[in-house]
Amino acid sequence: MKNYLSTEQAKVTACQLIKMKQNGEKIAILTPYDYTTAKILDDTGIDAILIGDSASNVMAGYTTTVPITLDQMIFYAASVVRGVKRALVICDMPFGTYSNPIDGVKNAIRIMQESQCDALKLEGGIEIIDTVKKIIELGIPVMGHLGLTPQSIHKFGTYAVRAKEEEEAKKLINDAHALEDAGCFGIVLEKIPAKLSALVSSELSIPTIGIGGGMCDGQVLVIDDMLGKNKGFRPKFLRVYADLHSVITNSVNQYITDVKAMDFPNSNEQY
C-alpha cells in the first residue's frame, strides 16, 4: 500500500489546497478527534484534517451536532493539533458560536489561540457572509460548508439529500460564489446531487470538498465511519475501508477469555 508521505515535507497551507485544485490534484481529508488517530493520519501524508463537530455524535453520543460546546471543540482540536506535524488542521466552529460577526470573531480567535489549529470551517452561505469576511480579515483561513448543514437540523427536520429542487440549487450556487468572493479557501458540499457539485466545482477556483457530494475537488469522511467502527451506519456515500467493529469486538472477547482462563498475564508479561 502506497504511503503518501515519502519524504519530510513542510506543513500544508490553505493556499496549497487551492494550488492542488489548479494542478488537478484531488484533496483527501479525514476527521479524527484525538491525538493518537491524528498522528496515524498525519504519518500517511493526508492533505488535511478536520476536527468536525461530528465529534458531538461520534465522541459524545449526541443525536445532533447542536449540543457540542466551544470548550469541547477546543479540547478535541488541541488534542488533534498535538498529533499533527504536516497536514492542514481545520476546526469546525460549533453551533451558535458565529451567529453574528462580533461573537464569530471573538470565538474564532479563541479556537485559533487555544487549539493552535490552522483554519476554521463554518456552516452557511449569504446569512453568515459578514462574519466570514471579518474572520478572514483577521488572517484566519476559512472553509465554507453548504448543502446538508447538520447544525440546522432542527430547521430542516431531516438528514436527506439537499438542493434537489431548482430554487435551493440556485441559492447554493449563489452562496458558493459569495463564500469564494469573501475569501474562503474551500467549501464542503455535503449530501447534494453530483451534477450540482460538478457545476459548482467547475464555476469556482477554490476547491470543493465532497461528503455525499459526488466527484468534487476533494473528499472528506469521518474516520470512525470509514473504518467501520459504527456498525449500523451505512449511508450511500460512505465507503467502508475496514471492519474495526469486528476487530474490537473479537479482540475484547479474546481478552475476556484470556483473563478468565488465567492465560493473561503469562510469565513474559509480568515483572
- If the CB atoms of residues 137 and 213 are measured against ligand KIV, the closer one turns out to be 213
Which stretch of DSSP H or E encloses residue 37? helix 35-44
Q: Which residues are near ligand KIV by CB under 6 A?
A: 31, 52-54, 92, 188, 190, 211, 220, 222
- If the CB atoms of residues 86 and 121 are measured against ligand KIV, the closer one turns out to be 121
Q: Which residue is nearest to ligand KIV (CB)?
A: 52
Any idea what DSSP says for residue 35? H
Would you call 190 a catalytic residue per the annotation? yes
3-state SS assignment for residue 232? coil
- If the CB atoms of residues 239 and 260 are measured against ligand KIV, the closer one turns out to be 239
Nearest to 215 by CA among 234, 187, 196, 243: 196
What's the burial of 242, exposed, middle or buried (CB within 10 Å: 0-12/13-18/19+)?
exposed
Q: For the stretch 11-48, what's the b/e string if a residue is b when 16 or more beta carbons lie within 10 angstroms of its beta carbon?
A: ebebebbbebbeeeeebbbbbbbbbebbeebbbebbbb
Minimum CB separation of residue 4 from ligand KIV in Å reads: 21
Minimum CB separation of residue 213 from ligand KIV in Å reads: 10
Minimum CB separation of residue 36 from ligand KIV in Å reads: 18
Minimum CB separation of residue 31 from ligand KIV in Å reads: 4
- If the CB atoms of residues 193 and 213 are measured against ligand KIV, the closer one turns out to be 213
Tally helices (H) and strands (E) across the chain: 11, 8
- If the CB atoms of residues 9 and 104 are measured against ligand KIV, the closer one turns out to be 104
Three-state helix/strand/coil letters over 115-150 = HCCCEEECCECHHHHHHHHHHHHCCCCEEEEEECCH
Query: Which DSSP string do the residues of 174-222 spell out, in sequence order?
Result: HHHHHHHHHT-SEEEEES--HHHHHHHHHH-SSPEEEESS-S-SEEEEE
Residues 8, 165, 190, 203: which is the catalytic one? 190
* Residues designated as active site: 190
